[in-house]
Chain A
């Protein structure tokens, strides 16, 4: 029995990566949920919006790097993040003016918005590929580790190392800050309250003089901030590749629905639930179980429930289970 090593191995391979990934998914799902709450449709262009915001941030990072600016031990991309958010917000507002507003005036069915968002998805995908190409981009710089596996081993004298990468730490901190800001905004400010009212009951909100166009405008700005942040954090943590971002759509949607579409708290919960299940189900638990058994014993087989290639199946499976047994999601959906 070697309890400590088992815990450290579990932390290193499951808990820390899943927390970071969960924070990224939660930020993405918050965007989906906000759009659903205010504009009342599922935005299929979300993954590509993430890619766009990240791309702008990467260009900003390169620009700063070429000017010799750096952020000390932190990645330069954090300095470029405001630029990414601003440009993405402009793009979102422009898209809304050119595409979605027309259907809003017509009071079109939500599925029409979804189809329009498919068109937007194509265009954004095209723009991203046009400017940065389809290849992998790594743009993380600064200190790589907060604690490296080796330092941890030397410090504690354990066999297992616990690596805590800077990007993981940043992801968690930034995500928490973003969430606190969002909840403060929604619950404490006048605009935020009016947005919640609009999401809860559109007609009543209109009656009490809430300007819907303003609510929509602010939603897009917040969504741009959330998606760009999520995209940049994911890109720092892993790498930036347009197609991967497109594929993130599925776990992000799953997170938003599992948590309850339109419910921000649910989106965060859903994000972590999906991330932990995805990492947990595809991780080979052989090492962890080996530490828990008698000395010099290793279980036969990898003790891996599913191969990592099936990670989509995990988010999908959870989605289906929730839809079958609790269609409104874990937290009750449809309120902001």
Chain B
């Protein structure tokens, strides 16, 4: 059962179709739509679309977290890590390979990685094969130490050779040079792989432990992205990642586009930026549409009911013969994969991978606010929460500045308090998000669109 909400009533008929026509839900979505449209009128359509595109990405992340939390009650606070793995996928898939780096140390690095993986697999096999006792521990220790030494010997030489190749512009292996859209599913797969490893070890432990374990793995993934220069240039960032949509400059040079724009009577530069954003939005909406359709299908399927049964009462579900641990692993992987897809989409939108920008508050805990506020256990709720909270996250800063200007209007220019308050307006958003989370959790624990 979803936390703190009333127990679901199995006796009531599952209202599958009625929800979509529930006036309250339409009103809520209408309200959020008005926020975006209002931004378009008050600020600019470019701003509104920028927020909207990131809102789409946020919604997909919220959808992924909602699968884990809403369907299965798994508390994953490592969303950032899976999002970053998705981002890494865009580099690995779409960037052109660097042949010099591959010939300098590519094979050696790969060999090193294989040796490292073999060490771990060998150690696990040994652990399972040998009888319990002191000898087992000793052999494990020797295997791990020897394996680690060999791994470092092989691996370090390879990476050093790769990173020495033109470090200012490459210094990494590059990617496969494939179309960028392929990176989205690959991002999902990469995140799924990461989720499999962490799920294998941490699922089945208490929920707090899973939380800490995921928090840790996310930090480690970011540390890897920052430090393994041979992989994705580390903090030197990968910029200029290919785009699935045309460049603004090309649009502005395109006769057909110019004719069209002048016919409408719009400024070609603004029109081109808006067109590009609309194209991104269209792509993202397709992904969101597919994912939400699949999620709804899954939710209403026997599989979805089994998941909720496990969530509401693990003991009785396993008494009915359900493999709780396996189901948890399954949904954990699925949810993380969705976060990975969203991460790949976001990096595609930014056209650059900047490991330094991954902050847990922004990429893990904000997504949690989206899910809790929107309504855990409801896919539409997660999407609504994604759009609403993302809009607030962006807009609270200018609103806070306005508020501070209002508050400090009577103070003299250059007065320290006034300066300080104006400077601090940027930090209002954390305060606001915390307040919203606490208020919703307290007064409307089932969120804006509660679970059916």
Contacts and interface: CB of A to CB of B under 8 A. Distances in A.
Interface of A: 41-42, 44, 99, 102-103, 106, 108-112, 114-116, 118-127, 129-131, 133, 246-247, 249-250, 253-254, 257, 261, 305, 307, 309-310, 312-313, 315-316, 319-320, 323-324, 327
Chain A interface mostly? helix
B212 A122 contact: no
A129 B430 contact: yes
A126 B219 contact: no
B202 interface: yes
Contact of A249 (B207, B215, B227): B215
Contacts of A125: 361, 430, 434
B214 to A, nearest CB: 10
B154 interface: no
Contact of A102 (B215, B423, B433, B442): B442
B3 interface: yes
B424 A129 contact: yes
A281 B431 CA distance: 38
B430 A126 contact: yes
B205 interface: yes
A114 B211 contact: yes
B202 A323 contact: yes
A71 to B, nearest CB: 27
B223 interface: yes
B116 to A, nearest CB: 13
Contacts of B73: 111
Contacts of B4: 103, 106, 108-109, 112
Nearest to B215: A250
Interface of B: 3-4, 73, 75, 77, 148, 201-202, 205, 207-209, 211-213, 215-217, 219-220, 223, 226-227, 360-361, 365, 368-369, 372, 423-424, 427-435, 437-438, 441-442, 445
Nearest to A251: B216
B245 to A, nearest CB: 35
Across chains A and B, which 3 residue pairs bring their CB atoms closest together, nearest first?
A122-B434, A126-B431, A126-B430
Contact of B226 (A112, A130, A253, A309): A309
A123 B431 contact: yes
A324 B441 contact: no
Contacts, number: 133
Contact of A319 (B212, B429, B432, B433): B212
Nearest to B207: A111
B219 A257 contact: no
A99 B434 contact: no
A310 B219 CA distance: 9
A57 B445 CA distance: 36
Contacts of B361: 122, 125, 246
- Residue among B75, B213, B360, B427 with the highest chain A CB neighbour number at 10 A: B427
A312 B216 contact: yes
Nearest to A36: B208
Contact of A111 (B75, B216, B219): B75
Contacts of A106: 4
Given A123-B435, A125-B361, A327-B205, A316 B216 contact: yes
Contact of B434 (A41, A120, A131, A253): A120
Given A111-B73, A316-B217, 14 more contacts: A108-B3, A112-B4, A114-B207, A114-B211, A115-B441, A119-B435, A120-B438, A126-B432, A126-B434, A130-B431, A250-B212, A320-B213, A323-B205, A327-B205
Contact of B437 (A119, A249, A310, A313): A119
Contact of A309 (B75, B202, B227): B227
Nearest to B432: A126
A320 B430 CA distance: 31
A133 B212 CA distance: 27
Contacts of A309: 223, 226-227
Nearest to A106: B4
B5 to A, nearest CB: 10
A112 B441 contact: yes
Contacts of A315: 216
B84 to A, nearest CB: 14
B201 A324 contact: yes
A141 B372 CA distance: 45
A123 B201 contact: no
Contact of A310 (B209, B220, B434): B220
Nearest to A102: B442
B212 A257 contact: yes
Contact of A127 (B205, B215, B431): B431
23 contacts: A44-B77, A110-B208, A111-B75, A111-B208, A114-B75, A115-B372, A119-B441, A122-B431, A122-B433, A123-B431, A129-B430, A246-B361, A250-B215, A250-B216, A250-B219, A253-B212, A254-B216, A257-B212, A261-B208, A312-B223, A316-B220, A323-B205, A323-B209
A315 B215 CA distance: 12
Given A110-B208, A126-B428, A253-B212, A320 B201 contact: yes
B208 A114 contact: yes
A209 to B, nearest CB: 30
B212 A118 contact: no
